[in-house]
A and B are shown apart, each in its own frame.
Chain A
Amino acid sequence: MWSRRSCRYRPDASGLEELRARRREQESALRKARRQQQLVSKRLLREEVNGDGQAGVEIAAEPLSEQEVLQLLRDVQRGREERKKLLSRLRQGLQHKETQQKFVRLEGSMRVLIGLFTSSLANIQMEAARCLHELSHSCDPAVAEACLPATSYLLTYLSGHSVEFTELCLYTLGNLAVESDAVRKQLLPQGIIPALASCIQSPHVAVLEGLGYVLSQLLQATEAPTKIIPLVLDSVLPQHMLRLVSSNLELGMGVAVEFAWCLHYIVCSHVNNALLISQGIVSTLVLLLLELASVMSKAATEGLELLICPVLRCLSNLLVEDETEGCKVQIQDERLLVALFLFMQYFLQQHPFLVQECLWLLNNLTADEPFFCSAVLTLDLLPALLQLLSCSRMVTLLALTVLCNIAEKGPAYCYQLHQKAVLPSLLSTLALSDAQVVGQSLELLHLLFLHLPEAADDFLSQAGLQALEQHQDNPQLQERVRALSETYLQPAAASLISCAGASAAVLPSS
């Protein structure tokens, strides 16, 4: 799929703008869907070949009328004319929602199509499969559900050897699987999980990518944690997923991307992460990130973020596994830290969402273990971390949290933070209006002053008190502002004055 994706449009300047507008529209539709917990997408495998066999934009055929559909089906049944051509025409018509709806409403139409789909004539079978695929991709649920009688055959054909045909069956299944609970209630007893478990041993990249797609669709179901994930974990699928998520990077990342998202859906459901941990998921994913970080600077890295994102999420969630389960996860490879910062630097402009995902992992790495806190300082990554304090709200908040994790470790850490100019950055964050961000800054100040008294002096001399005072009336912040002032700053100010007085007394008057 990855290598098959083509530029569907060859836009000029106005076309480009149209493209962007379309993307914005679709993006906001997706956001809305997600907030309603109805984020569902399907994939379309559509050959784009024009008349002379060259790749290009398919000239969209007209939709078909009900009579035309009926006639086509009759002609196909009677074997009039070249059946493949007839089916092609039907397929083109089925790209349109109206034709799809007319088709499924015709009595017996699905039966005919399935008959052709199970034909022994390979090219007829293929064309019928393409029709089925178009139907599966429909946004009308009635159309997609009309494909239900075909599922047992789709699953049977997964054990076949024709790469293109198997791939098509997989994407069709994936589209159907995401359609509704009712569909999955049929697919599961029909043995989709064992069928996928066999299919995953295929050596073909296209098949594997399609398989990853089906699995990712199944795993996104709301009932997945109870009904689907246990079945998956019980099969050989997890160990193959781990193998596939880190292989084939030279051949293209499509396969790895799909299985990375599968792993994310499994891990974040926290069904049985101990099993995955025992199969070595942590080291597999860490090594994968290291490899991606080193590849990043060299080759074309289009779409790398699609792979990195779910892997980061898996590791972050895995780090949360309870100690009581006997599988507390500990990572001790500081190269991971380097990789994270490389990712953040690389994606800061284009895909800022990845920065917050990296920081989440960084938080989970630095929270309990001093290893990574120490490494941040000794690898001189602090300036980069401080730079993140001027980004989006979530990024700033997470960066502050990481800094708090570091400061909490003790005086040696605070000393380093102070040496490397954390205070000026803090003064900037104190100037922000967001209460949560300011609150986190106050927590950091507290830790600094607690372990390193001289930090309070320096803070004062940089007009820190004034920076604090602007928040003294904010109910969320005032207690902490006052505590800082009274506990650390006022005594510091007093001692400064008394020092100054004392030294004035000592100095000879000129």
Chain B
Amino acid sequence: MLLPPDLSVSLRVERPLLPVRPRTPPRAPFCFSPSRLRFHRQHEFFEDGDIHRHLYLQDILTNVTEVTERSKVSEFCCHIVGCCQVFDTLEGYEHHYNTLHRNMCSFCKRSFPSVHLLDTHILEWHDSLFQIMAEKQNMYQCLVEGCAEKFKSSKDRKDHLVKVHLYPSDFRFDKPKKAKNSTKNNKPSSKLDVSMPMDVNVETYEQSQVDSMEICPSESVENPTQPMSGPISSLQEKKLYKSRIPSTVCFGQGASRGFKSMKKKV
């Protein structure tokens, strides 16, 4: 066998353990007995260390380290066909890509914030088998990660989200597939007109159309005209844009909505 030459030496190299006398209880008036100490979380023993930790959190410990500068590169364009958004930092591009292109439904071109939501969308919207199965069993999966509940309808799922998971009832990523022509309540507001759309003018557009649980890339489109077919060429869109959108910015993907009719927006 190929053993190292000094192996047997290490049998002897154990550091000697001094012989121990068996433990006896302490003799009065002496009271010491060795014991492992335990401190609870709020014990004052921890005070100094905890303070140090919190000083770090509050950034009061002055550490002189260099801030990593955001590297600027020369302007470049998004590589996705039809999208010509321009960037000058890699992080900016990464964020754009992740928001608009990464979790995109190839059927209807909608974007989602996560793979999980995308998968759920495809299942519920584009899987013909789903509708059939949904008639017989609970198929609508809860959107919260880690919750395995399933429901027989989109509405039931929404109720669950609101009641159990304390989600807002207007959670943006859970809009039902059926058309809902509910307009926002036009309560007169002295401060901000809340019924005003939040995303350019698209909110109103979305409201009056079939909504879905996703971020629609065409949100940025102000005046979509064509129903379905394919992505509208960006040039055509541009003509419809109000002049406030700079011409270097285009949001690609067109207004293809799949199977819904699209009302022209004023």
Binding site for B on A (CB under 8 A): 2-9, 19, 22-23, 26-27, 30-31, 34-35, 37, 39, 41-44, 48-49, 53-55, 70, 73-74, 77-80, 106-109, 111-112, 115-116, 118-123, 125-126, 149, 152-153, 156-157, 159-165, 186, 189-191, 193-195, 197-198, 257, 261, 265, 268-269, 302-303, 305-306, 309-310, 313, 316-317, 319-320, 334, 351-354, 356-357, 360, 363-364, 366-368, 370-371, 373-375, 377-379, 394, 404-405, 408-413, 416, 440, 442-443, 446-447, 450-451, 479-480, 483
Minimal Cβ-Cβ distance residue in B for A19: B62
List of A residues within 8 angstroms of B166 by Cβ: 152, 186, 189-190
Q: When A and B form their complex, which 5 residue pairs have the shortest distance between CB atoms, in order from nearest?
A: A115-B198, A194-B146, A410-B21, A353-B48, A108-B194
B178 at the interface (CB under 8 A from A): no
Q: Does B99 count as interface, using CB distance less than 8 angstroms?
A: yes
Query: Nearest A residue to B51 by beta-carbon distance?
Result: A30
B189 lies within 8 A of A378 (CB)? no
Beyond A77-B198, A106-B191, 16 additional pairs, beta carbon < 8 A: A22-B60, A77-B196, A107-B194, A120-B217, A152-B167, A156-B117, A159-B113, A159-B116, A190-B165, A269-B41, A313-B49, A316-B37, A364-B36, A409-B18, A411-B21, A412-B19
Chain A residues whose CB sits within 8 angstroms of the CB of B29 once the complex forms: 479-480, 483
Residue in contact with B36 in the complex, picked from A190, A310, A319, A371, CB distance below 8 Å: A319
Cβ of B113 and Cβ of A156 under 8 Å apart? yes
Given the complex of chains A and B, what is the CA–CA distance between A192 and B116 in angstroms? Answer: 16
Q: Is B159 an interface residue (CB 8 A)?
A: no
Q: Do A334 and B15 touch (CB < 8 A)?
A: yes
Is B199 at the interface (CB under 8 A from chain A)? yes
Contacts of B173 in A (CB 8 A): 156
- B68 within 8 A of partner (CB): yes
Residues facing A in B166-201 (CB within 8 A) are 166-168, 171-173, 189-194, 196-201
On whether A118 and B215 interact (CB within 8 A), knowing A4-B67, A159-B113, A163-B94, the answer reads: yes
What A residues does B207 contact at CB under 8 A? none
B31 CB to closest chain A CB, in angstroms? 7
- Chain B: residues with Cβ within 8 Å of the partner, total of 97
Docked complex Cα distance between A309 and B46 (Å): 10
Chain A residues within 8 Å of B256, by CB:
none
Contact A303 B18 (CB under 8 A): no
Question: How far does the Cβ of B70 sit from chain A's closest Cβ, in whole Å?
Answer: 8
Min Cβ gap A363→B in Å is 6
Q: Which of A6, A109, A164, A368 contacts B66 (CB 8 A)?
A: A6
